[in-house]
Structure 1
């Protein structure tokens, strides 16, 4: 019986042809790139037949591959700010500014060539075709190091801005590797923005190595253009006694998939992973996470909140894995969605894979409309229905935002929630 040959899509064929043409010129990590692309070539773009991509069919969405930006980012204007900032325009590293003492930044090509950085070190046992594509093709990016014991003041902002000064769709694949030394403290914001009306494609990967006793906040803000396809991945390893708080905040993009792969590498580490998603029209956003408790005495908390309007679709896929020797693990996961129209939809898929017997783990998911009794209470006190709905949605989302400890950043995100709710009231 002959083997069945899977037909390649035009996008897959183009990617295979591009890698063959470019692999000799890609900067460093040749073995890692070849292995990643071999996995991709075997599996292809993930479709709904792949369980973890059942709700977001990348193979169907990416029928063609947009070209890389061929121009220069030199003319792009930077906002005036004193904050530490690393800026990418159209996938190209544009500038590094205001880094404080104890924080260093090296271009990805240089770091890979010198061996001071490697691709895939934070992925643990996870494997993913979208990450493999980034690994195979990544040219632009940075390797950031925070020295042990350093408390980085303010926010280190990594800005990814696409489809600027571009008359046609483009692809970008930035790779950021962040190593936070033992006992250090860092607040890292990753913003994804771009022009409306251009169907550009983003495949970004941030690898985060959190040292023993270090504390990191990571805020991923998706304000991409209304035709953008955004594939964004955080891969993190947690050292002993370390703490990571990560928030996915999404209101942009036509189709978005935010992945988080978290691996516990040391005991007594703590994770808080939250999400705030606001969708309308025909937007689609998929929050997928895998939390791998590979060592004992780990704690994780996941809380995702979504407000979905119009004909938009939300997805939450969360998996907590507890390895056989990871006793005394404490993992709690919840996904809650508000459907604000009859045509809005939400798919929830929380999972537990537990191979140890001395653990405390639970998950839950809810999906429904606003409480009519609460609405009646507010409207009976003189509030118009639109304002009453906005108050309830804001309070619902704020619980997930509360994890952000930086007051100014938390207030800025809350303001974006208010803007989204105001636009909804105006549309109504």
Structure 2
């Protein structure tokens, strides 16, 4: 049965030893092991209570999760106390530290880089940066309401208020994104409160829903069945693999060779006002997450109190719907320009650096691009160091680029215009691949 057959467990004599083959057998929802720093953990029961969601752990079941574990947990020593009861053994001495196709040299160099940037204080947030950022969001929101109060609800003030509130919603998305990644405060409790204030009170959504969804994206970006951001619900086919698979199987839920056209009707305008809000509320209620529901309700109560006296109930609903419509366009282009034109495939079991660089690209730095994207123009650095405060991305970027050059890993950087246009071309190319496979294979 192998060297791990007699499982002794922690504190019961010498630790059990396992081969990678044995670990990889435990990769199912009801039986999940993973490896961190050569230690083997049975996380089957813990997955249900994992703050990042059970799917995040499930995506690494049967694998080495060292790099992902280090990337997601700002205070690794603190988290170790939760791991200790789950320890069941370790890898056999003659087993490599990396599994599958993970490059040991790349992993070692990236770990050295991580140690370097930690020692240089790049994971320390500047409170003034985030205070100013929140300040400009609150100022714009108050300004939008006062504008209507003082100048009336004519077309001019209404349109200007809609623009201001669209900026508020988009910029609040980027700020709650920072808080969700624990990159603002050292103490997770303050990140917890701050994120729920931003996404709940300022946006009317659920922090838990966003965290569980978004962390999966970071853990396995652009990987089918593991990254929810590329789950296009059969409306779109993406990348170069899925279109051919759909074509060969004669799958045609939509006329995919026209997807680069109808994307403008179903993608940017509908993601936030329809898909995300329905999904967020459904998950919040079905999972009985009453805290997030309470925070979200404060947004709607505040909004109705401020705008119903000005526009009435139907007018207020139309007003916020239009704001959501515009915000959705902003959100979709910013989040997709870094990922959709990149490699999208099934699981390849790559090391952290290689996996993230194949799925992400950067957009050139400028004051406008930084503000417009919430520093997600540094998508590569954000994916490699998800808990790093965004104001330090430009500092670590040259170090990441040098490491990529050393190992021959492509580090892509585009102009904002090129990145946005590439979303269109990638959808067009995918649609053509589907049509060719559908007709001829």
Q: TM-score, normalised by structure 1?
A: 0.30
Higher Rg:
2
Comparing both structures, which one devotes a greater share of its residues to helix? 2
Comparing both structures, which one devotes a greater share of its residues to strand? 1
Q: TM-score, normalised by structure 2?
A: 0.29
